[in-house]
């Protein structure tokens, strides 16, 4: 693999800490969490105690005072062992930035120290049964009534929805159509009117609790408005590049891990008087996957460098998510094939990684949405504007 140059010695020391934590606190218990469908809260507190949570939150806001690359290290080390839970990446790189970049001083003081310590677990409430990625047409409403918003509606596919203490909730606060009426609320999940539906039965990512949520005259303080009323869609768009980059970081790290598992397996697997690794087809398949993964690693590292410098274009973020998650699916499929029948057994990590990988082409914006964004950018200014059908 081409040497990586984006991490400092400080990041490397932090990686050692993360790797020990994952080996001691995640790997031995992961099968139990998959069976239970969720992760115990004490794991979050243990992670917070050693600075693994919300690393990019400034010290003045109750965080460790690191940067995006510290969060990337956590994401990479979790992906390296095939663990998609606990959803540290969601807390660290998706929810926390909403508060850091758009929250009031009071909101930051109220929520960020607890998120960094693991006492507060946060989630994002965006997708709806009728909308999916089309956030401009969401139907959950929040009506201002005195000093409170009254929320009614439903969300679905909410990662961490069953166990979260805090929800960044997308709602419609006005009569304006489309994106203009969207706002964001910080919702404490212990409020009357907040109802958790069933924990959804997924084909993969079993250790993540993914839920339906219902809001029935849920009252939220007006002071919990994140950003300005009716400007929530802009807030969402401003953070999407990082969300998509995080998906890419996970995808390429998972691909690298799967290749390592497969190379080790093929080197030891007896086959026709030799090993599976002696066969030309095995070497050709793995050589191609290695080359493709190495190219994507260089792409992701370059995207991370640009992001840290504040220069990552949202369309480029869509491109890196599209290509890395597509590659992840192919790597898992072809590596599982080389494991033969054992690859279909969940006792082997490649089997779990195969089904877990399918979500990455949907979560954080589907592959089709990424293609739409990229394709639209390619023709911007070259064709006359037409009303969308």
Question: What are the structure tokens assigned to 95, written together?
Answer: 């929810």
Three-point CA angle 56, 299, 90, nearest 5°: 35
59 is catalytic: no
Output Rg (C-alpha) for the chain, integer angstroms: 21
Catalytically annotated residue among 38, 128, 239, 243: 243
- Give residues with Cβ within 8 angstroms of 11, minimum separation 6: 69, 70, 73
Collapsing DSSP to helix, strand or coil, 388 comes out as coil
- How does DSSP assign 100-146, residue by residue? HHH--HHHHHHHHHHHHHTSS-EEEE---TTTTT-GGG---EEEEET
**Can you tell me the distance from the alpha carbon of 325 to that of 328, in angstroms, rounded to the nearest whole number?**
5
Sign of CA dihedral 103, 104, 107, 108: positive
Contact 335, 82 (CB under 8 A): no
CA distances from 371 to 100, 110, 120, 317, 319 (A): 30, 39, 35, 12, 8
**Can you tell me the distance from the alpha carbon of 268 to that of 190, in angstroms, rounded to the nearest whole number?**
52
Contact 84, 75 (CB under 8 A): no
> What size, in residues, is the chain?
389
CA count, 13 A, side-chain hemisphere, 349: 18
Contact 300, 292 (CB under 8 A): no
Question: Is the peptide bond prior to 86 cis by the omega test (within 30 degrees of 0)?
Answer: yes
Active site residues: 243
């Amino acid at each position: 693999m081409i040497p990586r140059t984006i991490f400092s010695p400080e990041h490397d020391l932090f990686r050692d800490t993360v790797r020990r934590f994952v080996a001691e606190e995640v790997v031995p218990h992961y099968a139990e969490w998959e069976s239970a469908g969720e992760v115990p809260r004490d794991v979050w507190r243990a992670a917070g105690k050693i600075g693994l949570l919300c690393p990019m939150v400034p010290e003045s806001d109750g965080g460790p005072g690191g940067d995006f690359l510290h969060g990337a290290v956590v994401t990479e080390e979790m992906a390296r062992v095939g663990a998609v839970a606990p959803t540290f990446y969601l807390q660290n790189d998706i929810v926390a930035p909403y508060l850091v970049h758009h929250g009031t001083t009071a909101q930051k003081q109220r929520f960020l120290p607890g998120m960094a310590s693991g006492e507060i677990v946060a989630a994002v409430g965006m997708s709806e049964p009728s909308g999916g990625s089309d956030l401009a047409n969401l139907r959950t409403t929040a009506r201002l009534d005195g000093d409170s918003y009254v929320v009614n509606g439903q969300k679905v596919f909410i990662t961490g929805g069953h166990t979260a203490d805090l929800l960044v909730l997308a709602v419609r606060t006005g009569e304006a159509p489309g994106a203009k009426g969207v706002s964001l609320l910080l919702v404490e999940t212990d409020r009357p009117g907040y109802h958790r539906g069933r924990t959804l039965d997924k084909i993969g990512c079993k250790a993540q609790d993914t839920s339906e949520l219902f809001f029935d005259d849920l009252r939220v303080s007006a002071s919990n408005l994140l950003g300005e009323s009716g400007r929530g869609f802009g807030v969402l768009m401003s953070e999407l590049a990082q969300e998509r980059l995080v998906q890419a970081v996970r995808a390429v790290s998972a691909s690298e891990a799967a290749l390592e598992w497969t190379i080790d397996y093929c080197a030891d697997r007896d086959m026709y008087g030799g090993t599976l690794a002696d066969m030309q087809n095995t070497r050709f398949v793995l050589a191609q996957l290695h080359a493709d993964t190495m190219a994507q690693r260089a792409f992701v590292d370059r995207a991370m460098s640009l992001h840290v410098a504040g220069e990552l274009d949202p369309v480029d973020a869509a491109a890196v998510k599209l290509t890395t998650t597509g590659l992840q699916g192919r790597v898992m499929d072809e590596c599982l094939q080389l494991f033969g029948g054992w690859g279909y057994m969940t006792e082997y990590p490649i089997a779990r990684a195969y089904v877990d990988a399918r979500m990455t082409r949907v979560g954080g914006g589907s592959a089709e949405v990424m293609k739409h964004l990229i394709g639209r950018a390619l023709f911007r200014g070259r064709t006359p504007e037409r009303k969308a059908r």
